[in-house]
Chain A
Amino acid sequence: MARILNMDRTQLLGFVLLAALVFLVLPLALDAFRLNMVGKYLTYAFVAVGLVLCWGYGGILSLGQGVFFGLGGYCMAMFLKLEASTPEATAIQSTPGIPDFMDWNQVTALPWFWEPFHNLAFTLFAVIAVPVAFAFIIGVAMFKRRVGGVYFAIITQAVAAILSILIIGQQGYTGGVNGITDLRTLLGWDIRTDSARTILYFVNGGLLFVCLFIAAWIKSTKFGRILVAMRGREDRVRFSGYDVSAFKIFVFCVAAGMAAVGGAMFTLQVGFMSPTFVGIVPSIEMVIFCAVGGRLSILGAVYGTLLVNWGKTTFSETFPELWLFAMGAVFIGVVLAFPNGLAGLWTDHVAPRLPRRLGGRPRPEAAQPAPAE
């Protein structure tokens, strides 16, 4: 494995440590409720890992990753909702057999685009395919026209706003502002029990590691180096015979696919999906997770996500009204004081002081400069 990914000892150790934390320490240390909460946080880590590739390496800042997280989550929620809406379970509705919110909104037949979500295989396909296809369309429309940088960020932001408004507006088809709630079983397996949630936590952790390995692999190939090259000197890459837009579209789609898996796992573990995870605020929060962890570090993104969310939970339980300010302050602090996030602190200050066999290494010849963005 390590050979395929061209990993050195330090990187391998990093993966082992994170695996120990996710699969051993946290499950042993936390009760089922808290573990489920960590599982929820880890679903955001999928988005953050995608952002490391797309933003950290490729220099493409997307402020709309909530769109892909949400689309993945909604695809999963549609399947679970249909399973929960059997004619028997919904006998009191005026139209039994359709999701409850449709009935409340005077929808009398299941809309056509809901039909295929009766099938789990289709749903699992759609969880990835729908967001990736959407990312592909946005990517082609933007990158082929050389829209980049701040303009791209603003457009993704607008897409996030549009999609959340659309979902809220089409209440009868989407569940509106409440989202799709009251999800119960997956092929008859009750996902609300503690044991089911614990199993889902491990599935989630496993999928996260699949994404981490994919990200590490991409980073280790020439594709990864071209991303870094593109970030600094797009024209040079273009005039070295590369179709820059194709590379951008691809990495944007990869990030979208990862976010979508996170969204689907969110729905499964938390039991609902709503437009609050699609819009502008969650999309920006996800960028903050990535920035705090270190946008150039795949593993750092996971730690950043865990840390910020843990802080958010603790802080907002005690000072609910101050949380958003704290979050803003953290982001500004990170960007100003340590632009490579926690991972940057680690490689610049902690790792050089560690003995070599523990993964310590001499200071690099020059610290990673922060690419201007």
Chain B
Amino acid sequence: MPNATDFLLAVEDLTVSFDGFKAVDNLSFYVDENELRVIIGPNGAGKTTVLDLICGRTRATAGSIRFRGRELTALREYEIVRAGVGRKFQNPSIYEDLTVFENLEISFPRGRSVFGALAFKRDAEVIERVEAVAESIFLADQLNRRAELLSHGQKQWLEIGMLLIQQPDLLMLDEPVAGMSVAERVKTAELLHRICADRAVLVIEHDMKFVEDIAHKVTVLHQGKRLSEGPMHAVKTDPKVIEVYLGH
């Protein structure tokens, strides 16, 4: 049994029960520093719930989630974010009424208290960071556009950018390529490879081609339990996984 503090993220015996239905059932898994882990599984396997539990949106019934040795289950959402965990939602969740620049600026990790936000200055450091992130998410020429005018794929990138500017140590993405064109998928895969050079990334994805492209390791969930785990080629040939998820 490895020591939980050796990992960036250690999820142990995690259970959440909604009126007796166990959406996540006694689940344990570990994520290393700079690892890109993909969680796959059939609908209702509890994938999104796992992310909700880690980021504090849903409270665990039992079990522990340790991030760099720090217990997350007792923290509030914004404390978890400040500890270094970023979360992207399944549907692009951006501020439609604000410009791309303002969207990124809000996520810049400074002035997060009420009075900090009132005193916040848009200085050279902020502008530089926003422009650098916009460049990496392919939106450098869209900074002054209202976010609602972006295409679906661009909105997905913008939300990823909003997380990057926070510089989280763990980035969690829920179906980042859903609704994207083939060309956009390729660019997103490239973006994810670049991102995880200096942080760990936890991705939920259905697109098997995309998963093969990016994953270091894959965890397969089924009915809230871990069905299989390992490199993609091993998981793909696991008879249990073929049975419940990939199909024959």
Contact = CB atoms under 8 A, between A and B. Distances in A.
B243 to A, nearest CB: 35
A237 B81 contact: no
A221 B97 contact: no
Interface stretch (B38-46, B86-94, B220-228): B86-94
A169 interface: no
Contact of B166 (A232, A240, A366): A240
Contacts, number: 93
A-side interface mostly: helix
B16 interface: no
Interface in A206-227: 218, 221-223, 225-226
Interface string B145-156: 110110000000
Contacts of B149: 365-366
A250 interface: yes
Interface string B76-112: 1110011000110100011111100011011101011
Interface stretch (A31-39, A241-249, A335-343): A241-249
Interface string A225-260: 110110111011111111110110010000000000
Interface residues of A, number: 29
Interface string B102-134: 110111010111100111101000000000000
B148 A223 contact: no
B55 interface: yes
Interface residues of B, number: 38
A369 interface: yes
B97 A241 contact: no
A243 B109 CA distance: 13
A117 B23 CA distance: 59
A371 interface: yes
A119 interface: no
Given A221-B119, A231-B97, 19 more contacts: A218-B118, A225-B98, A233-B94, A235-B57, A236-B94, A236-B162, A238-B77, A238-B78, A239-B55, A239-B77, A239-B78, A239-B86, A241-B78, A241-B81, A241-B109, A243-B112, A247-B117, A368-B97, A371-B97
30 contacts: A221-B118, A221-B119, A222-B122, A223-B118, A223-B120, A226-B117, A228-B97, A229-B95, A231-B97, A232-B97, A233-B93, A235-B89, A235-B93, A236-B89, A238-B78, A239-B78, A240-B81, A240-B107, A241-B81, A241-B109, A242-B78, A242-B112, A243-B113, A246-B114, A247-B117, A365-B149, A366-B146, A366-B148, A366-B149, A371-B97
Interface of B: 55, 57, 76-78, 81-82, 86-87, 89, 93-98, 102-103, 105-107, 109, 111-114, 117-120, 122, 145-146, 148-149, 159, 162, 166
A-B interface, 6 closest residue pairs, ranked by CB to CB distance from nearest:
A241-B81, A222-B120, A223-B117, A229-B95, A236-B93, A222-B117
